[in-house]
């Protein structure tokens, strides 16, 4: 859902991916009167002073706490002014939520069933939840999104074949004489930060003040002023795209997609942007597993809003493969510019990752990422790799992990599509 462009995130600077408009740069002026008026928030009614319950839920803090680079939650409150933000730090995330209450859907049976199941799962840890309530209050929404994010972290850790102990606890350390990044959060020193806002103007104020570039739609960013706190940020405003993400399922899928992007790029530290098919395909694969009737993308060439509802990709992919009208892996896997990805390429990238994670040994995908991510040996310290260096590095990693080249990838993937997707499309 996010128009975007290709970008390299690297130690040389913090760059934005998934842009919706050209940046409006400005100097950070002194705080306005509105910025000084931070809003006080009532304490969490579900946990209260119960330290055991807090520990069981994995809650580290409700704030104030350091957020990223040189700013913390208190500074964010000053900048955003009259915005009620609830804060929660968990094992792997720092989350700020300005979301309001959400009415339990009546007509949308799929969403109601999804929410009831998630709340029942959360109730095992948080017994105060009323499963018959007709509304999900702001604090429970924060608990729900924290639960979803930590669940995603655990699931992706399993896919990557890692645990927290596989990464160094600080920059500059090796793990069993091997480079595994610069910190404990998939290789990043700082926890993943997620800011859920309602108004686009609030997201624009945050990004302008703390990144120097104003963005009022979904933003992924790497903070990197200090290596010891370098972290991946995701900011969302639910009123964007005519309130499209005011729907809880859409918002959940949107967060899942962009968090998957941040996680796979963070793996062994974010030294450079991965080829599109790896990051975008993986993000599609994970988000469609949350709820398939949703489309998200970092960038798309076509600008038709109708593509949001074109979620049934299986018959489209099957028809193209049957007719021999599809981009081969030797072409698809060389894409590095997210803004130029066409709808058909998004579908094909998803299907490639779907194949690798379900038909090949899943452990091979972990090997592929181990080889692909992190530092590229041929790139001198302090320099960014070129697209050509990234793609050459990718080919070596793919051959080592899967023992096949791009043509052989096509030869395995194509018959699987014709067999499996023929069954699925019926």
Give yes or no: residues 282 and 247 share one domain: no
Give yes or no: residues 225 and 298 share one domain: no
Say yes or no to pLDDT of 40 above 90: no
Q: How many domains does the chain have?
A: 2
Residues 394 and 275: beta-carbon distance below 8 Å:
yes
Cα atoms in the 13 Å half-sphere on the side-chain side of 290: 29
379 contacts: CB under 8 Å, gap ≥ 6: 385, 389
- CA angle (130, 134, 138) in 5-degree steps: 75
Q: Which of 251, 271, 291 is the last residue of a domain?
A: 271
pLDDT top residue among 15 and 150:
150
pLDDT top residue among 295 and 15:
295
Average pLDDT on 129-155 reads 97
Give yes or no: residues 238 and 336 share one domain: no
pLDDT digits (tens, 9 = 90+) for 190-226: 999 999 999 999 999 999 999 999 999 999 999 999 9
pLDDT-based confidence at 382, cuts 50/70/90? confident
Q: Is the pTM of this model over 0.85?
A: yes
Give yes or no: residues 286 and 189 share one domain: no
Query: For 180, left (φ over 0), alpha (ψ -120 to 50), or beta?
Result: alpha
Sign of the torsion formed by the C-alpha atoms of 280, 269, 379 and 224: positive
Report the pLDDT value the prediction gives residue 303, as an integer from 0 to 100: 80
Q: In which order are the strands placed within the sheet that holds 219-223?
A: 16-17, 219-223, 231-237, 192-197, 93-97, 86-89
pLDDT digits (tens, 9 = 90+) for 389-418: 999 999 999 999 999 999 999 999 999 999
Which DSSP letter does residue 18 get? S
Cα atoms in the 13 Å half-sphere on the side-chain side of 22: 0
As a whole number of angstroms, the distance between CA 193 and CA 341 comes to 27
423 contacts: CB under 8 Å, gap ≥ 6: none
Give yes or no: residues 257 and 302 share one domain: no
pLDDT digits (tens, 9 = 90+) for 279-322: 999 999 999 999 999 999 999 999 887 888 899 999 999 999 99
In Å, how far are 74, 79, 133, 172, 190 from 38, measured between CA atoms? 8, 8, 30, 38, 25
Give yes or no: residues 174 and 307 share one domain: no
330 contacts: CB under 8 Å, gap ≥ 6: 406, 407, 410
pLDDT top residue among 115 and 22:
115
Per the structure block, which two tokens stand in for 327?
């981009």
Report the pLDDT value the prediction gives residue 1, as an integer from 0 to 100: 38
As a whole number of angstroms, the distance between CA 99 and CA 194 comes to 12
Query: For 181, left (φ over 0), alpha (ψ -120 to 50), or beta?
Result: left
Report the pLDDT value the prediction gives residue 16, as an integer from 0 to 100: 37
Give yes or no: residues 258 and 111 share one domain: yes
Give yes or no: residues 345 and 243 share one domain: no
In Å, how far are 266, 353, 370, 372, 389 from 375, measured between CA atoms? 12, 23, 10, 9, 11
Report the pLDDT value the prediction gives residue 39, as an integer from 0 to 100: 63
Chain mean pLDDT for the chain: 91
Q: Which of 253, 271, 289 is the last residue of a domain?
A: 271
Domain that holds residue 283: 274-426
Report the pLDDT value the prediction gives residue 15, as an integer from 0 to 100: 36
Say yes or no to pLDDT of 327 above 70: yes
Give yes or no: residues 159 and 303 share one domain: no
Q: Which of 237, 271, 305 is the last residue of a domain?
A: 271
Burial of 82 (0-12, 13-18, 19+ CB in 10 A): exposed
pLDDT digits (tens, 9 = 90+) for 154-165: 999 999 999 999
Report the pLDDT value the prediction gives residue 146, as an integer from 0 to 100: 98
pLDDT-based confidence at 3, cuts 50/70/90? very low
Q: Can you give 287-309 as a three-state secondary structure string?
A: HHHHCCCCCCCCCCCCCCHHHHH
Give yes or no: residues 41 and 65 share one domain: yes
Give yes or no: residues 11 and 32 share one domain: yes
Say yes or no to pLDDT of 136 above 80: yes
pLDDT digits (tens, 9 = 90+) for 361-379: 999 999 999 999 999 999 9
Give yes or no: residues 244 and 294 share one domain: no
């Amino acid at each position: 859902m996010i128009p975007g462009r290709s970008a390299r995130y690297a130690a040389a600077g913090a760059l934005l991916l998934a842009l919706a408009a050209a940046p409006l740069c400005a100097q950070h002026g002194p705080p306005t009167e509105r910025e000084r008026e931070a809003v006080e928030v009532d304490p969490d009614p579900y946990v209260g002073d119960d330290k055991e319950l807090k520990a069981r839920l994995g809650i580290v803090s409700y704030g104030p706490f350091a957020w990223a680079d040189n700013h913390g939650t208190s500074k964010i409150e000053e900048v955003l002014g009259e915005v009620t933000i609830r804060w929660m730090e968990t094992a792997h995330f720092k989350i700020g939520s300005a979301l309001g209450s959400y009415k339990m859907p009546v007509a949308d049976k799929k969403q109601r069933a999804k929410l009831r199941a998630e709340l029942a799962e959360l109730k095992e840890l948080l017994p105060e939840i009323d499963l018959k309530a007709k509304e999900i209050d702001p604090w429970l929404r924060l608990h729900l999104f924290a639960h979803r994010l930590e669940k995603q972290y655990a699931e992706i850790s399993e896919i990557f074949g890692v645990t927290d102990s596989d990464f160094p606890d600080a920059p500059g350390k090796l793990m069993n004489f091997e480079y595994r990044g610069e910190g404990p959060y998939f290789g990043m020193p700082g926890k993943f930060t997620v800011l859920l806002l309602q108004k686009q103007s609030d997201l624009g104020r945050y990004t302008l003040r703390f990144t120097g570039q104003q963005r009022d739609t979904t933003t992924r960013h790497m903070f990197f002023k200090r290596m010891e706190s370098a972290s991946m940020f995701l900011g969302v405003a639910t009123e964007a795209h005519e309130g499209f993400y005011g729907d809880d399922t859409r918002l959940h899928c949107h967060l899942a997609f962009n968090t998957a992007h941040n996680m796979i790029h963070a793996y062994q530290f974010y030294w450079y942007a991965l080829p599109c098919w790896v990051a975008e395909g993986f993000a599609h694969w994970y988000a469609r597993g949350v709820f398939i009737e949703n489309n998200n993308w970092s960038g798309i060439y076509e600008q038709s809003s109708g593509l949001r509802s074109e979620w049934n990709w299986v018959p489209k992919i099957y028809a193209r493969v049957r007719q021999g009208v599809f981009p081969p892996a030797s072409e698809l896997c060389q894409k590095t510019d997210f803004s130029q990805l066409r709808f058909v390429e998004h579908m094909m990238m998803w299907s490639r990752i779907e194949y690798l994670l379900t038909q090949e040994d899943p452990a091979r995908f972990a090997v592929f990422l181990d080889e692909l991510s992190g530092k590229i040996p041929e790139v001198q310290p302090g320099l960014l790799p070129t697209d050509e260096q990234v793609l050459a590095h990718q080919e070596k990693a793919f051959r080592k992990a899967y023992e096949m080249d791009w043509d052989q990838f096509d030869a395995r993937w194509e018959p699987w599509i014709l067999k499996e997707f023929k069954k699925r499309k019926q």
